[in-house]
Structure 1
Amino acid sequence: MLIIGAGPRSEVSMRTLRKLALCGGALMLSFGAEANPSFSSDETDFQLETVATGLAHPWSLAFLPNGDVLVTERAGRLRRIRDGVLDPASLTGLPDLVVSGQGGLLDIVLHPEFASNQSLFLSYAHRSGEGMTTRVARARLGDRGLNDVQVIFEALPRAGTSHHFAGRMAFDREGLLYIAVGDRGTRDRAQDLADDAGGVHRITINGEPAPGNPFLARDDARATLFTYGNRNIQGMTIHPVTGEIWTHEHGPRGGDEINILRAGTNYGWPEITYGIDYSGVPITPYTHKEGMAQPLHYWVPSIAPSGMAFYTGKSFPQWQGDLFVGALKARKLVRLELAQGRVTEEEDLLTELGERIRDVRMGPDGGLWLLTDSPNGKVYRILPEG
């Protein structure tokens, strides 16, 4: 059961109070009802439509020009939603990958010219005798599966751990691909420029270091590195106006961050953080150090953010330009209002669902699309009321 109108910090909006006065107990709805459940935010009312269920830890989705939607399952499957129906068959031809811990099939992004070349990019965990790592492959989408699969990026060195793969990706306006790689659970790797872990890499569609990368001329640094000092990025998107790449990443106990990527920037992990170790022991006494960037926004305690999108559609003009972030641990959707490069308001949405939100995407239909992380994961779409 849910009560319509629960707002941020458990406050009830004036709009909801008016509804309660008019309708009383009729506002109690069950998710089992045929009608889409309704919710209220500070800015507008909305409905939540269930598009698909029964997905094994869905991780990312991509919208095809023909209206189909592709969904990755961390369990190692790529699925298609066509005409609102989830195809029971998985797409074939996936690259060799491993499902272990936090690893599996992760992000999916379309080539900027997908409509003409049918190319897409997948990030995933891969295992060899030397351990596991984050890989990226390019492939061409066919009728029933992937063709011409080619590995274009592999983070080195490998590690024996099965967490902090990161794996989020995004294209910029120049057609360059950004790939996040986590610290793999070894903190100091994020400060080592000769190590692929704990940073964001910028490459061409063929896997070459992007022209203009900040460390191209250095023999002691990875040529693909764009930023470093990143712990475990789980959200990445392009700003619709500036074209900048925005990210967010997990802190430990506290210290989740939103950052804007700047070439060559050190984001500080683990030298500075607003979080502490899971054991309760401080990681560092510092939250600031010279030469290390401060986050645009951070959370204490941790919400475990995952997935991120700017709202750019016409269905919710009140949300135009707002940033939406999913939360795994906190089990909610966070709406952030922005002004002059800073967060001016934060609102918690969908706290009644009680589900871990893994991904947030801006749909071409004007709705926000969400994935929930569970063995019976769901695809949701946020639509206007009525």
Structure 2
Amino acid sequence: MISRSLFVAGLLAATACSAEPQPADPAAEAQNGAATASTGKPFVETVIADFDQPWAMTFLPDGRMLVTEKQGALLLVAADGKSRVQLATLPVDAEGQGGLMDVVLAPDFTRSKRVYLSWSAAEAGGKGVVLARGVLDDATAGGEKLRQIEVLFRATPFVSGAGHYSGRIAFSPDGRYLFFTNGERQKFDPAQDPKATLGKVLRLTPDGRPAPGNPLAAKGFHPAVWSYGHRNLLGIAFDAAGNLWEQEMGPKGGDELNLVLPGRNYGYPKVSNGDHYDGKPIPDHAPGDGFEAPKVWWTPVISPGGLMIYSGDLFPQWKGDAFIGGLSSKALVRVDLDGTNARKGDQWDMGARIREVEQAPDGSIYVLEDGAQGSQGRMIRLTPAR
């Protein structure tokens, strides 16, 4: 937990303003509220709002939305997108791929009002991703704040560089456990290091402690580790049957959608269906190699952003399917899930880097454009084309 004095000091600190390298497509700009049927797409796109480099969003029970922006702003946005309140400015390090990242409601949010967040932090020894939570105080309309903010967990170790933080959050269906992704920070080997949390899926208690009974603790791993051998894990979600799915960016090729199983090694950097950027080959996944292979993989890459598994009724043909935001591919990607199996579905050109995909309470699908290089990223609502 951070002290009050250190936290306040962090809030006042200036943050860097660099962003991921590919800009959003200027041709994708449109007026807020404009609804247009997209040629070749089975949905209508309605622009709800614009944001400054948004990263993640989630819906409150009343239809309002929480949205994170890279530079550290947590926003409470009206259901129609026409008004917003800044709930907090978090002490993020926004250099490179860093910033304010995920936002997820506690399973008991209606009672506790707790909101979970992740962001990249810097200190003398390096940088890393942290997990935090606060309490939403919205007793006064227009005066809402996120209060009692506390850091619960910090990646181990903090290292140099400004990439591959990951930082995605998902609660187990029973609400007892919090799953948290830690990227390997572009350092390769930590993904296989049993003492590091980097390159891992972690299972924690809602208070941020390593969950009792984690599968690798008795083998000398960090007690929070659930699975390992991952690269840059930018999406994690449970399906209706309780299966945990995770997607991650591969190196030069080999983006992955994985079924996450306890104690399994997903191979990176020892195996991958892509190669290193310097051209050095990495052995492909192969039967019997001792590593868990992805259920679906992409070469050329899609650069997967947020992950959502659809459970609504507005698009009944897609119920139970996975939706992935594509960054370099500027796409919305659908994957057919069938139990513990998966196969590629649709890939729709969205004309801009898609950072986040979320399901609204009414079953519509929301996407957030990345808004890289200082451009505005739009929030777009997708509804069935008639």
- The TM-score bracket by the shorter chain reads 0.7 to 0.9
Q: Which residue of the partner structure matches residue 235 of structure 1?
A: 235
Q: Which residue of the partner structure matches residue 155 of structure 1?
A: 155
> Residue type of the partner of 2:208?
G
TM-fit CA distance, 1:221: 1.5
Q: Percent identity?
A: 35
**Contact residue 183 and residue 230 of structure 2 kept, 8 A:** yes
Equivalent position SS for 2:76? strand
> Residue type of the partner of 1:121?
Y
Instruction: Note if 1:82 corresponds to 2:82.
Output: no
**Contact residue 326 and residue 334 of structure 1 kept, 8 A:** yes
TM-fit CA distance, 1:347: 1.3
Q: Which residue of the partner structure matches residue 207 of structure 2?
A: 206
Equivalent position SS for 1:37? strand
Q: Which residue of the partner structure matches residue 249 of structure 2?
A: 250
TM normalised by structure 1 equals 0.86
**Contact residue 90 and residue 100 of structure 2 kept, 8 A:** no
Q: Which residue of the partner structure matches residue 281 of structure 1?
A: 280
In 2 relative to 1, CA 118–337 (structure 1 residues): closer, same or farther, beyond 3 Å?
same
Matches within 5 A, 1:1-386: 31=30, 35-39=34-38, 45-53=42-50, 55-87=51-83, 89-92=85-88, 94-143=89-138, 144-175=144-175, 176-218=177-219, 220-240=220-240, 242-282=241-281, 284-288=282-286, 290-349=289-348, 351=349, 353-374=350-371, 375-386=375-386
**Contact residue 95 and residue 149 of structure 1 kept, 8 A:** no
In 2 relative to 1, CA 275–46 (structure 1 residues): closer, same or farther, beyond 3 Å?
same
Equivalent position SS for 1:194? coil
Between the aligned partners of 1:287 and 1:128, the Cα distance in structure 2 is: 37
Deviations 1:139-159 (A, max 9, x none): 101122211111111011111
In 2 relative to 1, CA 153–33 (structure 1 residues): closer, same or farther, beyond 3 Å?
closer
Q: Which residue of the partner structure matches residue 16 of structure 1?
A: none
Between the aligned partners of 2:116 and 2:33, the Cα distance in structure 1 is: 37
Deviations 1:281-306 (A, max 9, x none): 32x23423632101011001111011
- The root-mean-square deviation of aligned C-alpha atoms, in Å, is 1.9
| Structure number, greater radius of gyration | 1
* Unaligned residue ranges in structure 2 (runs of 5+): 1-28, 139-143
In 2 relative to 1, CA 34–181 (structure 1 residues): closer, same or farther, beyond 3 Å?
closer
In 2 relative to 1, CA 315–197 (structure 1 residues): closer, same or farther, beyond 3 Å?
same
TM normalised by structure 2 equals 0.86
Between the aligned partners of 1:205 and 1:373, the Cα distance in structure 2 is: 29
**Contact residue 118 and residue 130 of structure 2 kept, 8 A:** yes
Between the aligned partners of 2:367 and 2:263, the Cα distance in structure 1 is: 32
In 2 relative to 1, CA 111–211 (structure 1 residues): closer, same or farther, beyond 3 Å?
same
| Number of aligned residues | 349
Deviations 1:305-353 (A, max 9, x none): 111112211111122222211100100111122335333442111x1x3
* Unaligned residue ranges in structure 1 (runs of 5+): 1-29
TM-fit CA distance, 1:211: 2.2
Between the aligned partners of 1:60 and 1:239, the Cα distance in structure 2 is: 19
Between the aligned partners of 1:158 and 1:197, the Cα distance in structure 2 is: 9
TM-fit CA distance, 1:79: 1.1
> Residue type of the partner of 1:358?
R
